[in-house]
Chains A and B, each alone.
Chain A
Amino acid sequence: MTLASSLVLLSGIAVLWRHSLAAYIRAFARQSFLIVVAMVLVAAQTGDERLYLVAALVFLIKVVLIPNVLQRVQRHVGADLEIHPYVNTPASLVITGALTLLSYGVALPVTALGSLPTRGGIPLALATVFVGLFILVSRKSALSQIIGFLILENGIALLAVLATFGVPLIVELGVFLDVLLGVLVMQVFVYRIRETFDTVDVDRLKKLRH
C-alpha cells in the first residue's frame, strides 16, 4: 500500500523534471493507474465491492478518457514544451522534497495515533496534493495548469481511499462528474486563451489587469 502511494507521488513529481507536455499527460495517466491499483488493494483488503466499481470508474475516466482529451488539446495547441517555468527543475525537486517532509510533519499525529493498515500512505497522498498545487503555481502553460489540478485531485482521491476506505459512492460519483466537466471546460478555455493571446502561456493573462 505504502509502495503504491509512493509510486503515485513519484509519478506526480515526474512532471516536475520533464519538459514535454506529452510526458506530463503520460505521467498523469500512470499516476491515475496507480491510484486504481491502490483502490483495488484497499478493496481486496476490506472486501468492499463498491470500491471495485469506483476503481473501474477511475480507470475509465482518469486513465482513458481524460488523457485522451488532453492529448487532443495538446495536438490542437501544438506546443509540446513547457518552457521557462517560474522555478527550474533542481529547485522544484528541492521544494517538492520540503513539501513531502512537511506533509509527513503535518500528518504525524494521524499516522502515530491511527491504527489503519493504510496509514503509511496518508502523508504521501498529502504530499501529492502539495505537488499538484506546486505545479499550478510554478508552471506557465495552460495545459500544465490542468495537469496540476488533476494531480491535486488525484492526491485528494488517494487520501480519501487511504484514510476512510472510500467515501460514499454518491460523493465519489459527484467528484468524477466534477472532474470530467472541469477538464472539458478547461479544454474550451485553453482554446479560447490560445485564440485570444496566440499562446497558452497563462502568464499573459496578467494583461487583463486594469
Chain B
Amino acid sequence: MPPSFEVIGFLGIMAVSYIAAAAAALLFEDDRARRVTGLLSAAGALSGMGAAALGLAAGGSSVLELPSALPEAALEFSLDALSAAYLLLIGLVGVPAAIYSLGYGPERAVGAVDGALGRHSTGWRPARAIVPLFLLAMSLVVLANSVFTFLLFWEVMSLASYFLVIGRGDSPENLSAGRWYAGMAHAGFAAIAAALWLAAAGTEAGRFEEIRQAAGMLAPAARHAVFLLALLGFGSKAGVLPLHAWLPRAHPAAPSHVSALMSGVMLKIGMYGLLRVGLDLLGGGPPWWGGLVLALGVVSALGGILSALVENDLKRLLAYSSVENIGIIFIAVGIGLVFQSYGMAGLASMALAAALYHAINHAAFKGLLFLGSGAVLQATGTRNMEEMGGLIKRMPQTALCFLVGSTAIAALPPLNGFASEWMIFQSLLAGAAIPYPLMAAMMAIAAGTLALTGGLAAVCFVKAFGIPFLAMPRTAAAEEAREVPRTMRLGMGLLASACVLLGVLPFAAAPILSRAFFGMPGLSDTPAAFRLGLVMEAGAGASAISPTALALCLLAAGGAIPLAFRLAGSSRALRRAETWGCGRAVQSPRMEYTSTAFAEPLRRVFADLYRPAKTLDIEFHPESKYFVRSIQYQSRIRAWFEDAVYRPLFGLARPLAGTGRLIQSGSLHLYIAYIVAALLALLLLARWM
C-alpha cells in the first residue's frame, strides 16, 4: 500500500532537514554553522521518529518508489514495523547527539586542551556536514526496499562514518583507525552485496517482496550461502568477535557524539540487516543458523567484556563494551532463530523482542556513556582514565548522567539494561524446553556465560565510573576540569532519562517490541509468550517481575532509611571530618587505586586469555644491590587474538594488492588503452563466440 500523506511528509522533512543541515555546515561560519547544523539534524531525527511512530501505528508496510531511468537501479523505500523500530532507535540517539554537538568542539574546550581535542575533527567544516548525511544514510538503509537502494545507502553510511573517523586526516592514529575501518567495512560490503545479489538472482528488479517470494525456491545450498555471507557482512558491521577489530580503533578516533552514533546506532544497523535478510527475506532456516549466531554472540559477549576490563582508555573501554553488548544482542537473536526453526513461535517472538529491546537500551546507555566520555574528554583533554579522578566534584551533572549509564549497562535494576537482560535470560532458560539435548545444553552454557559477562560488566563499569569520577584528581588537567556547556548536559540528560524510563516503565517500549516482527514467518503475531505491562511476564507465566514496583520499592527504601534515622532522633547537623587514612600522614593522588590496579585481580584470573607481557627493570645502587635506585615496571596486553586472525590475512592481501598496483600506473594513456582493449575484446567476443 502507498504510504499515507503524513508519513511522506515526515520522511520528506527528515531528508530535507538532514540535507539542509549538511549545507548549513558548509555555508555558515563556525559558531553559527554548529548551531544551525545541530538544530536541523535534531529536527531531522525527530521527524524520522514521527514517521516511524505513524508507521508503527498504521501497521503493515507502505512502499514508496522514486522515479528512475533504470528499472534495476530504482530507489525504493518501504516503512514497515521493523524499519519503524530502527528509525525510532536512530532518533533516540540522533536527537540527543545533535543537541550535544551544539556545545561540543575544540573551540569551547575548557582548560588546556589542544592535544587530544585538537586532533578531533568537530571543528573541521566538512566533518560537521558529514554527520547529518551519516544520519540520513542510516535512516535510508533501514527504509530501503530493494537490493540496489539498500547497498547504495549502506555504502554511503560506511563512507560517511569513515570520513568521520579519519577527520582531517592529519593524525596517524586516526588514519590507521580509518584504514582498519575501511578495510573491514568494504570486506563486509562485498559479503553483503554477494549475499543480496545471490538472494535476488531470480528476481526482476531485486525488490524485497520479490526476494521474499523467491526465497522459498532457492536451493538449500544457496540459502545457506546467502545466510553465511550476510552473517559475515552484517557481523563485521555489528562488530561481533572476531570481526570486531575495527571497533576499538574507530570509536575512540571519531568525535564523541559520532562515537555515540556509531556505537549506539550503526552497530544495530548491522543487526537490522541480519534480521531483515535472515528472518524476513529468507524466512528463517535450520537450527544451526541460530546456533551459529548464538555461539558468535557468546564469544563476543565474553571476549568484549574481558578486553574492556583491562582497558585504560575510556573510549576504547566503551568500544569493547559495545562488542560485549552486541554479543548479548546476538545471543538473543540466535535463540530467536533457534526457537523459530523448531516452530516454537511464541518463544521466538519473545527472544527477538528481547534482542530488539536490548538493542534500543544499548543505544540509550552506550550513547549516553560516549557522550559522557566526550564531556570528560573536553573537560580534561585526555581519554586516559589514569589521568582523571575526582571529576564528580567538578562536573556533578555529567557524573550523574555517567553514573546512570554505568548502572544501566551493568544491568542493575531498575534501569533499562536490567529489563532487557532479564528478558534475554528468560528466553535462554525457556530453551530447556527444546527437545534436542545438544541445543538445550547450548542454551544452558550460553546462560552461564551471559551471567559471567554480566558480573564482569559490573566490575568494568565500577572501574569506568570510579576511576575518572571518584577520589582525588590525578593530574592538573583533571584538577582544572569544569562542567561542560548546557547543551551537552541536555543531550546527556535526555539519554539518561531514556535509560530510566525504558527501565522503570517497560510497557512504554511494548508497542514497538510487540509489533516490530509482525507478520514475519514463523513468529506468533500475538506475543502470548511475554507481556510487558506493569509486570513483565515471560515464558507463559513461568516468571514475572515488575521493574516499576521494584523502582518504587527502591525509592521507598531509599526514603525510609533517612526517615527512620530522623524518627530515631539522630542529629542532622553536618559534620566535616578527615577520611580515615589508614594511619598515613598525607593523602596524595599517588595512593589511589589506579585503573590498572583495579583490573589486576581479574587480569591474573584470566591470565591465560590475556597473556600479558611484563618487563621489570630495577636499577640497583652500585654499592649494594639491597638499595634500589629506580624500578620500572611495564605490563602490556597485546591483542594476540587479532594477531592470530589478521596477520595471515594481511600477509595474503599485501602481495595481491602490490600486484594490483602494477596496472595503476597513473598514466592517462594507459587507462584509455585499457578501455580500448576491453572494447576490442568484447567486440571480438561478441563476433566469434
B-contacting residues of A (Cβ < 8 Å)?
Answer: 86, 102, 105-106, 108-109, 130, 133-134, 136-138, 140, 145, 202-203, 205-209
Contacts and interface: CB of A to CB of B under 8 A. Distances in A.
B676 A86 contact: no
B683 A106 contact: yes
B667 A206 contact: yes
Interface in B661-682: 664-669, 672-673, 675-676, 679-680
13 contacts: A86-B669, A102-B680, A105-B687, A106-B687, A130-B676, A137-B673, A138-B669, A202-B668, A203-B667, A203-B668, A205-B667, A207-B666, A209-B665
Contact of B669 (A108, A202, A207, A209): A202
B684 interface: yes
B672 A137 contact: yes
A109 B666 contact: no
6 closest Cβ contacts across the A-B interface? Answer: A209-B666, A206-B666, A137-B673, A133-B676, A136-B672, A106-B683
Nearest to A140: B669
Interface in B531-572: none
A17 to B, nearest CB: 19
A69 B667 CA distance: 27
Given A105-B687, A106-B687, A109-B687, A206 B665 contact: yes
B676 A208 contact: no
Contacts of A106: 683-684, 686-687
A209 to B, nearest CB: 3
B310 to A, nearest CB: 38
A136 B669 CA distance: 7
Contacts of A203: 667-669
A64 to B, nearest CB: 28
Nearest to B671: A137
Contacts of A109: 687
A209 B665 CA distance: 8
Given A102-B680, A206-B667, A207-B666, 6 more contacts: A106-B686, A108-B687, A109-B687, A133-B672, A145-B668, A206-B666
Contacts of B680: 102
A206 B669 CA distance: 10
Contacts of A206: 665-667
Contacts of B676: 130, 133-134, 136-137
B679 A205 contact: no
Interface string B379-390: 000000000000
A186 B684 CA distance: 32
Interface string B638-677: 0000000000000000000000000011111100110110
A205 to B, nearest CB: 6
> Max chain A CB contacts within 10 Å: which of B666, B669, B679, B680?
B669
A76 to B, nearest CB: 21
Contacts of B664: 209
Contacts of B672: 133, 136-137
Nearest to B677: A137
Contacts of B675: 133
A102 B687 CA distance: 11
Interface string B618-639: 0000000000000000000000
Nearest to B683: A106
Nearest to B667: A206
Contacts of A208: 666
Nearest to A134: B676
B672 to A, nearest CB: 5
Given A133-B672, A133-B676, A137-B672, A205 B666 contact: yes
Contacts of B665: 206, 209
> Max chain B CB contacts within 10 Å: which of A105, A137, A140?
A137
A58 B666 CA distance: 35
A137 B675 CA distance: 10
> Max chain B CB contacts within 10 Å: which of A86, A105, A133, A205?
A133
Nearest to A142: B668
B667 to A, nearest CB: 5
A128 to B, nearest CB: 14
B675 to A, nearest CB: 8
Nearest to B676: A133
A7 B669 CA distance: 27
A140 B666 CA distance: 14
A9 B675 CA distance: 21
Contacts of B686: 106
Contacts of A102: 680, 683-684
Contacts of A137: 669, 672-673, 676
B424 to A, nearest CB: 48
Contacts of B668: 145, 202-203, 205
